[in-house]
Amino acid sequence: MSAPVAAPELVADCSRCAGLCCVALPFARSADFAIDKPAGTPCPNLQPDFGCAIHAELRPRGFSGCVTFDCFGAGQRVSQVIFGEPDWRSDRARARAMFAAFDTVRQLHELLWYLTQAVGLASAGGRAEVEALRAEVAALAAGPADRLAEVDVGGLRERVGPVLELVSAATRAEVRRGKPDRRGADLAGARLRAADLSGVSLRGALLIATDLRNADLRGADLLGADLRNADLSGADLFGALYVSQSQLNAARGDAHTRIPSALARPAHW
């Protein structure tokens, strides 16, 4: 089983973004956000240089949702490539166009993140189809802005989903060894310490606050699994399929947690 492939253009680089996630997206006061903020309104913590005034204290100040969020590199794509001039503050029409493009590109980049992994995992016979689909999505994500407004993201998801699932099933077949899949299962708060979940599909599963300490998740399909506050201390996720940075950011782990090579160990672990 191949390790997930790193794709630098799909990794968020806030230093090259115009703070789009801090403006374009809405916040709802909750455990993840300390305030309500409507879409299109700058967060009060956004600085003139597009930095965050409380970046080092986001979690204790009640903004854990900002820590877990991942734009998959859409911020710098929209700011630096599609629009060229990143400042949205001088023109309302330009701002609306940038915010709309950011929403679409983020979703396209998320699909590209999964398809990039699938290309590396697909068998020789099926790789061409995955590569063609990835190339199609990449071309759409490149813009221009008026073309992005016409993209049917929902339709793309309907096409990408089955392809990712076929690659996953073929990749996990040998590792799974008859273990039952737990796709969509409600495992919130479950005690799965040291569980053998290698090769198991946990796609879309609720794993909120689940005890996964020292669990074997090698080759498990974690696409869309909710890992908020899950304890991954000592767990082995190396080679796990379709894991995103936001999933790791939402979970707890430690120095002994093995993660896919394409991802970064969260600072709060």
Domain ranges of the chain: 8-25+69-172, 177-269
Domain 177-269: CATH architecture, name and number where available: 3 Solenoid (2.160)
pLDDT tens string 169-197: 999 998 888 899 999 999 999 999 999 99
User: Among 180, 188, 229, which Cα is nearest to 206's?
Assistant: 188
- pLDDT tens per residue across span 115-158: 999 999 998 778 999 999 999 999 999 989 999 999 999 999 99
Read off the pLDDT band of 223 (50, 70, 90).
Answer: very high
Q: Kindly report, residue by residue over 106-117, the tens digit of the pLDDT.
A: 999 999 999 999
pTM of the full structure: 0.92
